[in-house]
Amino acid sequence: MTTTPVAPFTDLDAAPATPDFGPATQLTCRECGTSYSLGAAYACVECFGPLEVGYDFSGVSRAVIESGPQNMWRYSCLLPVASYAGDERNLNPGLTRLVRADNLATALGITGTLWVKDDSGNPTHSFKDRVVAVAQSAARRLGLGTIACASTGNLANAVAAAAARAGQDSVVVIPSNLESGKVLTTAAYGGILLAVDGNYDDVNRLCSELVGDPLTADWGFVNVNLRPYYAEGSKTVGYEIAEQLGWRLPQQVVAPIASGSLLTKVDKAFREFVSLGLVEETPWKVFGAQATGCSPVSQAFRAGHDVVRPVRPDTIAKSLAIGNPADGPYALDVVRRTGGAIEDVSDAEVVEGIRLLAETEGIFAETAGGVVVATLRKLLATGQLDPTQETVILNTGDGLKTLDAIAEHVGPTATIAHDVDEVTRVLAEHHARHR
Amino acid sequence: MTTTPVAPFTDLDAAPATPDFGPATQLTCRECGTSYSLGAAYACVECFGPLEVGYDFSGVSRAVIESGPQNMWRYSCLLPVASYAGDERNLNPGLTRLVRADNLATALGITGTLWVKDDSGNPTHSFKDRVVAVAQSAARRLGLGTIACASTGNLANAVAAAAARAGQDSVVVIPSNLESGKVLTTAAYGGILLAVDGNYDDVNRLCSELVGDPLTADWGFVNVNLRPYYAEGSKTVGYEIAEQLGWRLPQQVVAPIASGSLLTKVDKAFREFVSLGLVEETPWKVFGAQATGCSPVSQAFRAGHDVVRPVRPDTIAKSLAIGNPADGPYALDVVRRTGGAIEDVSDAEVVEGIRLLAETEGIFAETAGGVVVATLRKLLATGQLDPTQETVILNTGDGLKTLDAIAEHVGPTATIAHDVDEVTRVLAEHHARHR
């Protein structure tokens, strides 16, 4: 319970010759298996495949984890971070609530236990705090003084806030036509915020050019040249679910798919816990959720394809609107291997999903959470998800950031004069309607 | 760590004849000492003084608390709630982060340790979740099936969400001219939301009339007829600070003042921990923070008055804008008894306070948090707060709810074409300005 005093900020100019990445030993190409030393690299020189962190786990036990801090750093022994990463200045995200959702289960006809893993409780209210925390740690080890990203929302908030907390520079690049609320939230943290004339594709292209430019020699783009580390942060969602269930695995998990990374990392977390003997090996199924307006992985799943054909996103679920998802094929692999499924839902269903979760459990999710709830309903209706099994659904962000999505759909029950008789009348009408 | 399965929802129509309020034994008038049995009462029949919960504490120990859940219910043995209150459906708020704020300390010239108690991490992102949780529990014990409130923001969110989670009815009454963002956030949870033509005074007057009306016989107005229970929820902020510091008290605490209740309850929590032997008795000073545009308690402190003269609020810190604060005189007592002080700050200083906290610690506070940070700075400048002592400041809410307050003050560093040369130019200019 005691909050450990934070160690003095590590000097970013003094990265050691052999960086300490804890249990991580190398980067390995997912496609051809070529290995590389740990550095700011993300694509295989041989085959252009994505690089993933490799480990030599030792000294991992329930006791070690349980004696750790009440945040994601309790899993340091399973991440590409030094053992002291949690003592360096960061936002200390994680260990968010796992909420038992009996009302939602009843509303959907689920008789097994239903849980919501609610990552809106993170410091900047999305799961992106987890991935940024690991990327920020990697940037320190690699002597990269500035953390950067291209983003349209949650990631921008998470990077700017984490940099402020660490007293380091940040560069966040956004499209200039972004909603003012998202601009303000990021700008409040005071880093460099570049609004680029153009759309998100233009922003991404600019960032790709910047990665190779001498200007950015000490920049860590969290989701580009630090991506292998960044992505591993999502494993902590899976670790927490298993530990919070009392060191066991759920039977079904429903995760949103943007790049596809989160879904694959939750599965990876479960596999690691099993292989390390931390939980009993019981079967689990992983389900994916997309908005129909950006559903390339769902379409590939339905068509039985192994490749994912890029789409142009058009949905209110902007935090999931990645038309060409880097980890889409791997997400397909996980879902097919575990016997799950992937579905997509309309924007109207997304709004219904947001409202259903808020009205039944008091959890106000962003659009991505609405996608997951609506997909859960669809998976039940189509018989793909078993209503009698224990199920965990992921809420990755906060409704306060996507108010526009519900603006036309909710409002006051009534507007009245300040008069008790008016209240009486409105309540009588309301109860008559709902009886 | 394991999340305890939630007990079946208590039947609200079956309140027992002798309600179980745990260690609470009676309600006592703060002015004349008259005692009453525990019920939905809030004012003394004899003298109209406010009623406060009285206790018979037994079986309280560090071990009992430490073995409790990772939320405010670990302090059930110190609250007017049944021991099983935390197992009934509620939002399980509390145990928010205590963040060591070395960057902010350095920026302000504080050499003692500085901490931020960050209540924006609660389920609906303000400390109101704590007080509503205790009021909701009391409503259950008293057989009140509907929870209600008049509010312009955080309390409305907290009541509507808590009711949704419990599957019970809620009635939230707001002024019809409230910002649409706050209306949407409350409406999302689906309870009855009444927009009243008029200002907040009209809303409050209507609610006072409603409390006596047969229509509301089974309503618990959390901050009216359940106020004694509601207010006790704020003690958990003080308990958590002491436990998170490793079972000891800080030397200085800075709290915002709206009604004044939170400030007095943090002090009460410290006194209880001392009297129960849970912490060593070391001296502490309590400081109060107001916005100049609504600073009746600060004005009374400065003038040396015991009474608080009501004002008409005019400040961007709307969550603190109570012109006639019910607990103002008690807040004055606490501040004077402990040797603290009360200051107030301009709206411009509030915005600077929000930005300073965000830029140094990555914590994006609502206006009330800005008031506290700006007041901390003023208390240092005037020599009233000791920069060498250990200090805890309270952030009670989330910047996402008060974006309007900073809209004119923050924005992108620059808007540019998607061109690496443009980025190079902007960064060179930025670094030249900041060197």
pLDDT of residue B12: 44
Indicate if B304 and B387 belong to the same structural domain: yes
pLDDT of residue B316: 93
Which of B423, B427, B433, B435 to mutate to probe the A interface, most A CBs <10 Å? Answer: B423
Indicate if A191 and A268 belong to the same structural domain: no
Nearest CB to B164: which of A198, A359, A427? A359
Q: B309, B261 in Cβ contact below 8 A? A: no
Place of tokens 């930025």: B430
Angle at B417 between CA B415 and CA B418, to 5 degrees: 115
**Interchain pair A176, B412: CB under 8 A:** yes
Indicate if B266 and B343 belong to the same structural domain: yes
Q: Looking at the complex, report in whole angstroms how far the Cα of residue A76 sits from the nearest Cα belonging to chain B.
A: 17
Local structure of residue B172 (DSSP, 8 states): E
CA distance B103 to B113: 11
As a whole number, the mean pLDDT across chain B is 93
Indicate if A398 and A299 belong to the same structural domain: yes
Q: Looking at the complex, report in whole angstroms how far the Cα of residue A199 sits from the nearest Cα belonging to chain B.
A: 10
CA distance A312 to B289: 50
pLDDT of residue B233: 98
Task: Confirm or reject contact between A200 and chain B (CB < 8 A).
Answer: no
What Rg, from alpha-carbon coordinates, does chain A have?
A: 22
B51-55 and B97-100: which strand pairing? unpaired
Backbone angles phi and psi of B176, in degrees to 5: -70, -20
Distances (CA, A) of A38 to A218, A268, A392, A418, B227: 16, 20, 34, 67, 58
Residue of higher predicted confidence among A58 and B352: B352
Q: A182, A236 in Cβ contact below 8 A? A: no
Q: Looking at the complex, report in whole angstroms how far the Cα of residue A203 sits from the nearest Cα belonging to chain B.
A: 7
Nearest CB to B210: which of A160, A411, A423? A423
Q: Looking at the complex, report in whole angstroms how far the Cα of residue B183 sits from the nearest Cα belonging to chain A.
A: 7
Strands (E) located in A368-422: 391-395, 414-416
Task: Confirm or reject contact between B63 and chain A (CB < 8 A).
Answer: no
Residue of higher predicted confidence among A203 and B358: B358
Nearest CA in chain B to A407: B184
Q: How many CB atoms are located within 10 Å of the residue B419 CB?
A: 14
Question: Of A204, A225, A246, which marks where a domain is finished?
Answer: A225
Nearest CA in chain B to A192: B413
Nearest to A220 by CA among A175, A168, A164, A157: A168
Residues of chain A contacting residue B89, judged by C-beta atoms under 8 Å apart:
102-103
Indicate if B239 and B327 belong to the same structural domain: yes
pLDDT of residue A178: 80
CA distance B274 to A399: 41
Residues of chain A contacting residue B432, judged by C-beta atoms under 8 Å apart:
none
**Interchain pair A403, B163: CB under 8 A:** no
- Determine the structural domain holding residue A165 and report its residue range: 143-225
Q: Do the domain assignments include residue B238?
A: yes
Which of A423, A429, A434 to mutate to probe the B interface, most B CBs <10 Å? Answer: A423
Backbone angles phi and psi of B279, in degrees to 5: -135, 160
Task: Confirm or reject contact between A432 and chain B (CB < 8 A).
Answer: no
pLDDT band of B360, cuts 50, 70, 90: very high
Indicate if A185 and A202 belong to the same structural domain: yes
Query: pLDDT tens-digit profile of B383-415?
Result: 999 999 999 999 999 999 999 999 999 999 999
Nearest CA in chain B to A160: B362
Task: Confirm or reject contact between B348 and chain A (CB < 8 A).
Answer: no
CA distance B2 to A435: 38
Indicate if B209 and B316 belong to the same structural domain: no
**Interchain pair A180, B417: CB under 8 A:** no
Nearest CB to B420: which of A5, A213, A363? A213
Say whether pLDDT at B39 is over 50: yes
Q: What share of chain B is helix, strand, coil (3-state, %, to 5)?
A: 40, 15, 40
Burial classification of residue B312, based on how many CB atoms lie within 10 Å of its CB (0-12 exposed, 13-18 middle, 19 or more buried): exposed
Q: Do the domain assignments include residue A361?
A: yes
Place of tokens 């001498």: A214
**Interchain pair A414, B92: CB under 8 A:** no
H runs (alpha helix) in B221-366: 227-232, 235-244, 261-275, 296-303, 328-338, 347-361
Q: A378, A346 in Cβ contact below 8 A? A: no
Task: Confirm or reject contact between A198 and chain B (CB < 8 A).
Answer: yes
Residues of chain A contacting residue B70, judged by C-beta atoms under 8 Å apart:
70
Question: How many distinct structural domains can be found in chain B?
Answer: 2
Tokens standing for residue A371:
């996608």
CA distance A150 to A156: 7
Task: Confirm or reject contact between B176 and chain A (CB < 8 A).
Answer: yes
Residues of chain A contacting residue B188, judged by C-beta atoms under 8 Å apart:
354-355, 358-359, 364, 399, 406, 410
Indicate if B193 and B277 belong to the same structural domain: no
Q: How many CB atoms are located within 10 Å of the residue B287 CB?
A: 25
Place of tokens 């400041």: B393
Question: Of B175, B200, B225, which marks where a domain is finished?
Answer: B225
Find the mean pLDDT for residues B212-232.
94
pLDDT band of B84, cuts 50, 70, 90: very high
Task: Confirm or reject contact between B363 and chain A (CB < 8 A).
Answer: yes
Question: Of A202, A225, A248, which marks where a domain is finished?
Answer: A225
Find the mean pLDDT for residues B197-220.
89
At residue B80, the 3 state secondary structure works out as coil
Q: Do the domain assignments include residue B172?
A: yes
Strands (E) located in B283-413: 285-291, 342-345, 391-395
CA distance A387 to A114: 9
Q: B335, B301 in Cβ contact below 8 A? A: yes
Nearest CB to A362: which of B161, B196, B206? B161
Task: Confirm or reject contact between B245 and chain A (CB < 8 A).
Answer: yes
CA distance B404 to B351: 11
Find the mean pLDDT for residues B117-140.
97
Euclidean distance between the first and the last CA atom of chain B, given in angstroms as a whole number: 47
Q: Looking at the complex, report in whole angstroms how far the Cα of residue B284 sits from the nearest Cα belonging to chain A.
A: 20
Tokens standing for residue B13:
């129509």
Q: Do the domain assignments include residue B63?
A: no
CA distance A54 to A336: 24
pLDDT of residue B216: 94
Residues of chain A contacting residue B354, judged by C-beta atoms under 8 Å apart:
188
pLDDT of residue B18: 80
At residue B333, the 3 state secondary structure works out as helix
Which of B1, B207, B422 to mutate to probe the A interface, most A CBs <10 Å? Answer: B1
Residues of chain A contacting residue B181, judged by C-beta atoms under 8 Å apart:
403
Nearest CB to A103: which of B102, B167, B406? B167
Residues 116-175 on B with a CB inside 8 Å of A are 121, 123-125, 160-165, 167, 171, 174
**CATH code for position B154:** 3.40.50.1100
ipTM for the whole predicted complex goes beyond 0.90? yes
Indicate if B186 and B289 belong to the same structural domain: no
At residue A364, the 3 state secondary structure works out as coil
Nearest CB to A3: which of B124, B244, B398? B244
CA distance A239 to A235: 6
Say whether pLDDT at B5 is over 80: no
At residue B280, the 3 state secondary structure works out as coil
Q: B152, B402 in Cβ contact below 8 A? A: no
CA dihedral B216, B222, B226, B232 (to 10 degrees): 170
Q: Do the domain assignments include residue A9?
A: no
Nearest CA in chain A to B244: A2
Provide CB contacts within 8 A for B221, sequence distance 6+.
Answer: B147, B148, B149, B150, B207, B210, B211
Indicate if B179 and B204 belong to the same structural domain: yes
Indicate if B265 and B380 belong to the same structural domain: yes
**Interchain pair B123, A98: CB under 8 A:** no
User: What is the identity of the amino acid at A296?
Assistant: P
**Interchain pair A418, B197: CB under 8 A:** yes
**Interchain pair A174, B363: CB under 8 A:** no
Task: Confirm or reject contact between A401 and chain B (CB < 8 A).
Answer: yes
Backbone angles phi and psi of B207, in degrees to 5: -65, -40
Could you tell me what percent of chain B has a pLDDT over 70? 96
Nearest to B370 by CA among B406, B334, B339: B406
Indicate if A167 and A247 belong to the same structural domain: no
Task: Confirm or reject contact between B428 and chain A (CB < 8 A).
Answer: no
Query: pLDDT tens-digit profile of B331-344?
Result: 999 999 999 999 99
Residues of chain B contacting residue A204, judged by C-beta atoms under 8 Å apart:
none
pLDDT of residue B433: 83
CA distance B129 to B142: 20
- Kindly give the confidence (pLDDT) of every residue in chain A, 435 residues in length, as a single tens digit, with 9 standing for 90 and above: 334 333 333 444 445 568 999 999 999 999 999 999 999 989 999 999 999 999 999 889 999 999 999 999 999 999 999 999 999 999 999 999 999 999 999 999 999 999 999 999 999 999 999 999 999 999 999 999 999 998 878 999 999 999 999 999 999 999 888 878 888 999 999 999 999 998 777 888 899 899 989 999 999 999 999 999 999 999 999 999 999 999 999 999 999 999 999 999 999 999 999 999 999 999 999 999 999 999 999 999 999 999 999 999 999 999 999 999 999 999 999 999 999 999 999 999 999 999 999 999 999 999 999 999 999 999 999 999 999 999 999 999 999 999 999 999 999 999 999 899 999 999 999 888 876
Q: B73, B86 in Cβ contact below 8 A? A: yes
Q: A177, A49 in Cβ contact below 8 A? A: no
Nearest to B252 by CA among B375, B385, B127: B385
